[in-house]
Amino acid sequence: MRVALLTEGGYPYAQGELVAWCERLVRGLPWHDFEVRALSRGRQQASGPRRPLPEQVRLVRTARLWGPPPGGRPSRLAGRAFAEAFEELTAGLTDDRAAGTGGGPGAGAAQADRFATGLRALADLAARHGGLARWLASEPAVAVLEAACRRPGVPRAAVGASVADLLTVAERMERALRPLSLDWYGGAADDPGLGAVDLCHAVGGGPAALPGLLARYLHGTPLLVTEFRVRLREHHVAALAGSAGHTVPPSAARAPVRALLAAFQLGLARAVYAAAQLITPGDARAGRWQRRCGAEPARLRQLWPGIDTRELLAVAERTSPAPVPLLVAAGPVDEHGDADGLLRAFARVREAEPAARLLLLGGPPPEPGGVPAARWCPPGSVEHRPAADPPARAAGWAAGAVAVCATVPDGFPTALVEAMCCGRPVVAADRGAAAEALGGTGVLVPAGDPVALAEATLALLHDPARRAALGAAARARALEVFAVERSLAALDAGYAELAGRAAAAGRVVPAWARRTIAEHPPPGVLATAEERP
């Protein structure tokens, strides 16, 4: 099967989002042929090093989401057509209920349809006129946005948008919509385009998914979207974090800009989720946001990123626990940035267990003099180990008696899962995906409560039998749920299922896809279409 892997700010570049995950995907499914189509976010990334590519990567195409808009300005007649399409898209930025179209079960559907209709019209115009980027950066585009801010249902904060605000929004929308102007959809001499692939797999629901959405629209190419971070949620979280005046940097976007971009991102998410036949969120919270943005629950299948458990297990089996009560946590932490009270909790543990020590794994090397934890902990009781590679981290987790995860980041809790895989009982703050990851195999305490964190840790230190039972259960869960082989097998099955659906619906597929479907037939597929000449 030939799969187009669509990325933004990541693979095949050496640095960026989900580079390691994409590389594991490509190398872990060598029986598929991949073509990588990557959008770069900056000059440094675009000109920087790239990952060595395995032989199953048959084609690499790149494009940039930075710098001045490419292409020339369209004619006046074409400009009027662009304005009409853009008006339809911006009409989809309003809210159905506020606009008076009802708030029942279909609330949002009408506006989503208008956004998708405008998006398709812009794509058609871009194909006919050699792109649309220059028009989106023009004064007529700003005028359309200004008119949109006077419609019923527009976000309240956008009503007072200034010309400078509208210029900022137009610039950011232009960059997000640049994939509409690419030559990735067929017709190029050296590139048959996305109509010739069996499947588009977009890693992200933003601009990375736009080429897959167009391929779905133009050629009926199946689309799978994997999303570990929901961009709309991150946009709202950043806005809330900056709601206190003293935390807003001078370069922060004004409220009208944030409101219009949030509406645009919602419209884009709705369009992508409506086109995708299969959506794989990285955790339950991402799935909840996707459903709020209109994704049909029947199309969602949760997919943890996974970790390579084999190396972790091998190191953990060779490592003996420390002779003293050792707590292990992901670092670095100091008394100034100890927002969750890890050091304060450890100080309480030391009061009951004077021999206890704390090992912090990961992060940059500490300043000269070690971890500045003297305010809470005696000198020498806290060690920082800048463990950059999995074997070193595994040795650290396996040496401990209890793994303490006071800070659980959004998304996949890698450190927590590594500790589970190494067979260590976990005490974690109840935030992020901690509860979902542990699944009852660890101890959860309220976030930001050092007293509860210390008490739960001491309870495990004083109960070896319970420590052993929780550690074994955590390891079994990690191997069953979080092994990378499991996520790769799930995606492989999803590829076969979508290719099978396309074949059953009459889409012409190449011979390699027919062979894959024949070897791994998804449910309900009885026959495939004829091979393309």
Over residues 357-393, the pLDDT tens digits come to 999 888 665 555 555 555 667 777 888 887 667 888 8
Extract the tokens encoding 511. Answer: 């011979």
**What's the pLDDT at 138?**
85
Burial annotation 292-329 (CB, 10 A radius, 16+ → b, else e): ebbbeeebbeebbbbbebeebbebbeebeeeeebbbbb
- Could you report the per-residue pLDDT of 448-469, keeping only the tens digit for each? 899 999 999 999 999 999 999 9
Return the pLDDT at 209. Answer: 95
Average pLDDT over residues 7-15: 92
pLDDT at 154: 85
Mean pLDDT of the chain, nearest integer? 83
Give the pLDDT band of residue 528 (cuts 50, 70, 90). Answer: very low
Calculate what percentage of the chain has a pLDDT beyond 90.
50
Position 88 pLDDT exceeds 50: yes
Task: Please check whether residues 273 and 332 belong to one and the same domain.
Answer: no
- The answer to whether position 509 is within a domain reads no
- Whether residue 321 has pLDDT greater than 90: no
Please indicate, yes or no, whether residues 201 and 61 belong to a single structural domain of this protein.
yes
Q: Structural domain of residue 359, as residue ranges? A: 309-482
- Phi and psi at 138, nearest 5°, equal -100, 170
Per DSSP, the residues of 384-414 read: EE---SHHHHHHHHHH-SEEEES---SS--H
Statement: residue 529 has pLDDT above 80: no
pLDDT in tens, 257-278: 989 999 999 999 999 999 999 9
How many whole angstroms separate alpha carbon 499 and alpha carbon 460? 50
SS3 443: strand
Residue 494 covered by a domain: no
Return the closest-CA partner of residue 217 out of 194, 189, 241: 194
Residue 122 lies in a domain: yes
| Residue at 520 is within a domain | no
- From the list 18, 22, 7, the residue with the least C-alpha distance to 53 is 22
Residues 143, 144, 150, 152: what is their CA dihedral angle, to the nearest 10 degrees?
180
Question: What average pLDDT does range 402-429 have in this prediction?
Answer: 90
Q: Which is more confident, 65 or 372?
A: 65
Q: How far apart are CA 169 and CA 153, in angstroms?
A: 18
Residue that terminates a domain, selected from 171, 191, 222: 171
pLDDT of residue 132: 77
Residues 252 and 208 both lie in one domain: yes
Last residue of a domain, one of 171, 205, 224: 171
Q: 521 pLDDT exceeds 60?
A: no
Say if residue 95 is in the same domain as residue 153: yes
Co-location of 63 and 80 in the same domain: no
* Extended beta strands in 213-315, E state: 223-227, 278-281
Cβ(350)–Cβ(381) below 8 Å: yes
Residue 375 maps to a domain: yes
pLDDT for 519: 47
What are the backbone dihedrals phi and psi of residue 26, each rounded to the nearest 5 degrees, phi first?
-65, -45
Asked if residue 97 belongs to a domain, the reply is yes
Same-domain pairing of 319 and 462: yes
DSSP state of 50: B
Judge whether residue 533 has pLDDT over 60. Answer: no
Weakest-pLDDT range from 232-236, 451-455, 500-504: 232-236
Asked whether the beta carbons of 386 and 439 are under 8 A apart, the reply is: no
The residue type found at 384 is: H
94 and 235 in a common domain: no
Number of domains in the chain: 3
Question: Does residue 96 surpass a pLDDT of 60?
Answer: no
d(CA 136, CA 141): 5
Residue that is last in its domain, among 241, 268, 299: 299
Which among 337, 335, 336, 343 has a CA at the least distance from the CA of 359? 343
Cis ω before 49 (30° cut-off from 0): no
Q: What is the pTM of this model?
A: 0.84
The enclosing domain of 469 has a CATH number of 3.40.50.2000
The answer to whether residue 416 sits within a structural domain is yes
Neighbouring C-beta atoms of residue 502, cutoff 10 Å: 23
Regarding whether 388 and 277 lie in a shared domain, the answer is no
Residue 224 placed within a domain? yes
Do 152 and 91 sit in the same domain of this protein? yes
- Going by pLDDT thresholds of 50, 70 and 90, the confidence category of residue 240 is low
Higher-confidence residue of 233 and 28: namely 28
Looking at the structure, do residues 189 and 285 belong to the same domain, yes or no?
yes
Instruction: Pick from 70-79, 456-465, 505-514 the range whose average pLDDT is largest.
Output: 456-465
Whether residues 136 and 194 fall in one domain:
no
Q: Answer whether 174's CB lies under 8 Å from 126's CB.
A: no
272 and 377 fall within a common domain = no
For residue 243, pLDDT beyond 90: no
